[in-house]
Amino acid sequence: DAGVIQSPRHEVTEMGQEVTLRCKPISGHNSLFWYRQTMMRGLELLIYFNNNVPIDDSGMPEDRFSAKMPNASFSTLKIQPSEPRDSAVYFCASSSQGRTDTQYFGPGTRLTVL
């Protein structure tokens, strides 16, 4: 079975540009999570969707970040405008039943903002 799919795997952009990260969860999973990993802060939950509805976006750093899940098989995380401090690895994860269930992670997108 296919795992969580993320694209792109690497993204290098310049400050001020818009960045869109994409995620396809495991088929049949109804919960989707976006995380950010940095050396300083470790793994942070940015936003959590259940049945395509955002349930908790308290981890989204600021208005420059937005996330959507238009259907059960696709989600995007957008940063506009990007800043150098947004450089991190962004992971998408999915689970079959919410936050207490096992979350399976995608390979991550390494974002570098110059």
Sites of contact with another protein (CB under 8 A): 33, 42-43, 45, 50, 55-56, 89, 91, 93, 98-100, 102-108, 110
CB of 27 to another protein, least distance (A): 17
- Measured from the CB atom, the residue of 25 and 108 that comes closer to another protein is 108
- Measured from the CB atom, the residue of 74 and 104 that comes closer to another protein is 104
CB of 68 to another protein, least distance (A): 19
Residue 47 phi, psi dihedral angles, 5° rounding: -155, 150
Q: How far apart are CA 105 and CA 108, in angstroms?
A: 8
Q: How far apart are CA 114 and CA 94, in angstroms?
A: 30
8-state DSSP, 40: T
